[in-house]
Homo-oligomer: A and B are copies of this chain.
């Protein structure tokens, strides 16, 4: 017998979605951050994504407030719409809930959901409830994107520059702080706070995605499983390889301080940490520097060139003039561990 755990997340998805027949309305189906669907709008496509988050696996009621959890479950879906360059519009929420759960906790979670939805212009238009041993929030998010302008994973070309918004590794550092209070006690509160916020209430890069869709990004996805794993997804979809410059990785001094306390290389948090919900994207090399300047100037989002795309497959990490293979390690939700695909 082969179990779900034997296959792992990506093996299972590949197996279950292998035989899907074509359909006239599907512009882009399973395999990107969101689907692109033709719903009869002359200029725009529907963008659709869903993501289930399970108490104890994706969030803990003990390490964030109900409001923070509510914001986060929607933010994770907003990040997928952002990664397509889309405008988020409508959410459906499936709630699986233990019968003995205090309704006040759910009130808080929904207050957070509504606040995040309102901030990003999203209407909650449907849902359902059922009972379950553990709290699960499964959100389907719908939005729209210009027919010609959607960001996809499969558009990167050899020679393109590789960029990322914001910083990397902060959410992973924040998770370590939540898991080990003695670690937090060895750092200043003002250094811990932004790392905890990155873990508890990530800010989806919705404005950045829309900006990139208008300014010539060739491929994009959001960094949810970890930079290395997600870069591997982008390269696989585009049929290319990539080189990451270790020294260029945008890592905050607070994240570096956590890494130092943990005795790990800061790059490891940035490359394999996951849950950053930043956008990883490619642009033609000749416009990369100017685009980064303009993005900061126009929408106040810092962007860093961290490497480039190459024709040969595989990922490499360049450090002090040497290139070494970069393992596409990432988080596998069905193995509950970091795995190499």
| Closest B residue, CB atoms, query A100 | B3
> In the assembly, how many copies of this chain are there?
2
Interface membership of A71, Cβ < 8 A: no
With A94-B50, A131-B334, A132-B136 already in contact, the answer to whether A124 and B39 are too (CB < 8 A) is no
A153–chain B nearest beta-carbon distance, Å = 14
Over the window 40-61 of chain A, the binary record of Cβ atoms lying under 8 Å from chain B Cβ atoms (1 yes, 0 no) is 1111101011111110011000
Listed stretches A24-32, A295-303, A319-327; interface member? A24-32
With A25-B89, A30-B126, A123-B20 already in contact, the answer to whether A1 and B102 are too (CB < 8 A) is yes
Residues of B with C-beta under 8 A to A142: 37, 39, 46, 48, 142
Q: Is the beta-carbon distance between B4 and A103 smaller than 8 angstroms?
A: yes
- Name A96-119 residues within 8 Å CB distance of B: 96-104, 106-107, 110, 114, 118
Residues of B with C-beta under 8 A to A42: 40
- Name A155-199 residues within 8 Å CB distance of B: none
Chain A interface mostly: mixed
Q: Is the beta-carbon distance between A125 and B2 smaller than 8 angstroms?
A: no
Among B4, B96, B140, contact of A92 (Cβ-Cβ < 8 Å): B140
Q: Is the beta-carbon distance between A124 and B30 smaller than 8 angstroms?
A: yes
Interface membership of A34, Cβ < 8 A: yes
User: Which range contains the number of A residues in contact with the other chain?
Assistant: 35 or more
Q: Is the beta-carbon distance between A26 and B123 smaller than 8 angstroms?
A: yes
Could you tell me the distance between the alpha carbons of A131 and B29 in the complex, rounded to whole angstroms?
Answer: 23
Q: Is the beta-carbon distance between B15 and A130 smaller than 8 angstroms?
A: no
Among B4, B54, B125, B140, contact of A101 (Cβ-Cβ < 8 Å): B4
